[in-house]
Amino acid sequence: MTSTPDDEFKIDLRGDVTVELVKHSATDSDVLFAARVSTLGEQSLDELDKDPERSKGLINFLMRDRHGSPFEHNSMTFFISAPIFVFREFMRHRVGWSYNEESGRYRELQPVFYVPDESRKLVQQGRPGKYVFVEGTKEQHELVGHAMEESYRQAYATYRQMLAQGVAREVARSVLPVGLYSSMYATCNARSLMHFLGLRTQHELAKVPSFPQREIEMVGEKMEAEWARLMPLTYAAFNANGRVAP
């Protein structure tokens, strides 16, 4: 039911993200199965795990020499809840990814908004392409929290007022900021996820430095933890070879 502008409403402020692995078909055996068809033809899946060290070596060889296609024969679907600006960065990743996001045209959007917590570094120092983030002061954190909450509250009240006056949801949503939380299903394979992680996370083993926005890195870290559990040999080879997607 659409709310009226005079109704009391409470906005929900969050500083985290949600990442859930909802379904998958992803194992190290999927990589081996795909790779060995080039030399063995059709095989039984049961044959793949008889020599663990050989399997580990093959996956490392594929990763090291960038034979990438065997890493595409698997699938992982994640449910993600994060601020809209995170999803706009996600959409830069198109190869090997599929997305379905909740729609502000078809449902009334809920008042859940992002406010960075105290661990979020607020101050950027340096020039573009060569900068670092440093801790903000207590006063800066208080300013950010207060300003965001006030802005969110006003924007959502205006959104509700337009809905109450019969304005279409797809028009009324225009006043809502990118700090609003959205949700989506994102499906990828291991190769496309490795490319994502190489760009959207910082890691001491990475050969190529990356400078992701912290909020999308939070999503990437949670996705990485799930993938590491599903495909430990592939994950180990990814790290051992500089976290560069094959």
* Residue 34: HSE in the Cβ half-sphere, 13 Å Cα cutoff: 15
Task: Return the HEC string of the chain.
Answer: CCCCCCCCCCCEEECCCEEEEEEEECCHHHHHHHHHHHHHCCCCHHHCCCCHHHHHHHHHHHHHCCCCHHHHCCEEEEEEEEEHHHHHHHCCCCCCEEEEECCCCCCCCCCEEECCCCCCCCEEEEECCEEEEECCCHHHHHHHHHHHHHHHHHHHHHHHHHHHCCCCHHHHHHHCCCCEEEEEEEEECHHHHHHHHHHHCCCCCCCCCCCCCHHHHHHHHHHHHHHHHHCHHHHHHHHHCCCCCC
Q: Is 200 a catalytic residue?
A: yes
Q: Select which of 200, 214, 229, 243 is catalytic.
A: 200
Buried b (16+ CB within 10 A) or exposed e, 98-110: eeeeeebeeeebe
Give the residue numbers marked as catalytic: 200
